[in-house]
Chains A and B, each alone.
Chain A
Amino acid sequence: MSRVFVIAAKELRSYLVSPTAWVVATVFLAVTGLLFYNIVAWYSLQSFQLMQFGRGSEGLNVNRLVFEPTFHNMAVTLLLLVPIVTMRLLAEEKKARTAQLLFTSPVRLGEIVAGKYLAALTLLSGVLLLTGYMPLLVWAYGSLEWGPILTSYLGMVLLTGAFVALGLFASSLTENQVVAAVLTFGLLLGFWLLGWAAQAGGEEASILEHLSLITHLEAFLRGVVELKDVAYYASVTALGLFLTHRVLDSNRWR
């Protein structure tokens, strides 16, 4: 078994035996579930009113009106919860001195970074997958298009991957988990809010918009997979992992 998977498996185990992962999963599902319920309730009211006016409900697109905002809400909830998941990845090992086992075992730094990254991404993807009950419910009692749902999940996983890479980087900078979490939160929020600057208009604003974590999600939610969006998330992820690697390497020389 490759060392990457050895490390990832151990990290996943550590997540699953600690309450953090369960609390994060529960809170995520509760919050997104509540928001989903609100949206569905609003959607049925709208449909009902439309039907009363005798227009039928064909005009109301469930994908656009229910799932687009729902996935948006999931992304915002993730923004709040990913730092809690990633904060321990490296900070805890440094604090507890268990890093000495990792760094004196015949394992490359890259393998450590990849293993840790994979573990957090797997955990969060698992939690995301649990929200699959939402489209299943709508599909069971109505109709929806699966295409945009699948691309939305792809986008969500890519977004989560970028979040985790930035979180891992923050965790490599400190041995204090709270500092790592706050730093991650700041980084994610910062990247997120870049999109808002675009509203100011102008040349610079559009560049900022392209750098924003959220704007690249839009196409996925509409059922379109664009190379530029995939490339964007892959680049942010690669940047986070690369910086983590550099920090771990340079820490040795201090």
Chain B
Amino acid sequence: MIEAENLTKRYGEVTALDGVSFHVERGEIVGLLGPNGAGKTTAMKILTCFMPPSAGTARVAGHDIFEAPLAVKRSVGYLPEEPPVYPELTVDEYLAYAGRLKGLGGRDLKAARGRALDRCGLAEVAGRLIGNLSKGYRQRVGLAQALLHNPPVLILDEPTVGLDPAQIIEIRGLIRDLAREHTVVLSTHILPEVTATCQRIVIINEGQIVAVDTYENLSQQVGTSRRVVLRVRRPGPELADRLRALDGVLAVDPETDGAYRVESRQDRDLREEVARVAVESGAGLLELAGVAVSLEEVFLRLTTEEKEGAA
């Protein structure tokens, strides 16, 4: 659905994007992940034909962004970082305007408006001025605008920023729902968001792609160790020593509240043995869990490794 080839964008001296290529298949949810200023928004602005790249090209829904920008715009719904809403219009008026800009009219427009209002939970504020709505509602109005013409591709720039936790869960659910009929690209710097919604992750740092894969693969690739966290009733140095004696254990870090973090080699699953040791030592095992390397760590390692490589 989306084929970005070698996208490069320079703002004067600054290179915001540097040879970025990635593909998104129909019906996928792909997360663009990166620190602030990594080039996520720039990539999205190029894919939505808001601005052309300095070099490279892209095809969105089968249309070239240079040759058929209007066709690309017709097949893309875009929610920018800042929802592009007019405070002086009501939600209903705004959606009518956005719909007409996108070429809807008459009965189609009315149906599209009703559907977007329903989907984004805006029905009860439809008659209110957008200027009087909270940030969360404005974000939803922006999303409703993106969905309005039922485009095959949705590009959402930080869709959950400014929402409260309940709304975030709601919007994530909505995005997963949407992915059944749409291809979704969303950007975020909030890591759990990616694990919660996306099938594939594109990690961007300083304008370059550092990694493209599923979350599971990425964490395996990056993880050099496995972890088991256990909590016991009666912690003591003896237990730590016995854990350290196990084959394959790299480190044992005692933490507060009688918890221990046991690191082992990647190829060894120590959960069973750790449990046995804990029970035999009579420390009173309370909890035990295998911990995957978190996305934060994957992310940090990938983005810092890249820097070291460049330096």
Contact = CB atoms under 8 A, between A and B. Distances in A.
Which one of B52, B84, B103, B145 has the greatest number of beta carbons of chain A within 10 Å?
B84
A13 B129 CA distance: 13
B50 A105 contact: no
Contact of A98 (B52, B85, B93): B85
A232 B142 CA distance: 43
Nearest to A2: B100
B73 A106 contact: yes
Nearest to A92: B86
B80 A105 contact: no
B101 A97 contact: no
A39 B21 CA distance: 71
Contact of A104 (B49, B52, B103, B105): B49
A254 B48 CA distance: 16
A18 B88 contact: yes
Interface string B201-227: 000000000000000000000000000
A97 B80 contact: yes
A26 interface: no
B143 interface: no
Nearest to B48: A104
Contact of A100 (B74, B80, B86): B80
Interface in A96-143: 96-108
A3 B102 CA distance: 9
B82 interface: yes
A252 interface: yes
Contacts of B82: 97, 100
A7 B101 CA distance: 8
A254 to B, nearest CB: 7
A18 B80 CA distance: 25
A10 B74 contact: no
A253 B86 CA distance: 25
Given A106-B73, A252-B52, A254-B11, A101 B101 contact: yes
A112 to B, nearest CB: 10
Contacts of B84: 96-101
Which one of B11, B93, B101 has the greatest number of beta carbons of chain A within 10 Å?
B101
A105 B88 contact: no
B98 interface: yes
A190 B134 CA distance: 45
Given A97-B82, A106-B74, A6 B51 contact: no
Size class of the contact patch on chain B: 20 to 34
B85 A105 contact: no
Contact of A6 (B11, B101, B145): B101
A10 B85 CA distance: 13
A105 B86 contact: no
A17 B130 CA distance: 13
B50 A252 contact: yes
A60 B237 CA distance: 115
A4 B135 CA distance: 30
Interface string A8-23: 0010011001100000
B101 A3 contact: yes
A1 interface: yes
Nearest to A7: B101
B102 A105 contact: yes
Interface in B111-150: 145
B299 interface: no
Interface of A: 1, 3, 6-7, 10, 13-14, 17-18, 96-108, 252-254
23 contacts: A1-B100, A1-B105, A3-B100, A6-B97, A10-B89, A13-B88, A18-B88, A97-B80, A97-B81, A97-B82, A98-B84, A99-B84, A100-B50, A100-B78, A100-B80, A102-B101, A103-B50, A104-B50, A104-B76, A104-B80, A105-B98, A106-B101, A252-B50
The 5 closest A-B pairs by CB, nearest first: A101-B84, A105-B101, A106-B73, A6-B100, A97-B82
Given A96-B86, A104-B50, 14 more contacts: A3-B100, A3-B101, A13-B89, A14-B86, A14-B89, A97-B80, A103-B50, A104-B49, A104-B78, A105-B102, A252-B52, A253-B51, A253-B52, A254-B12
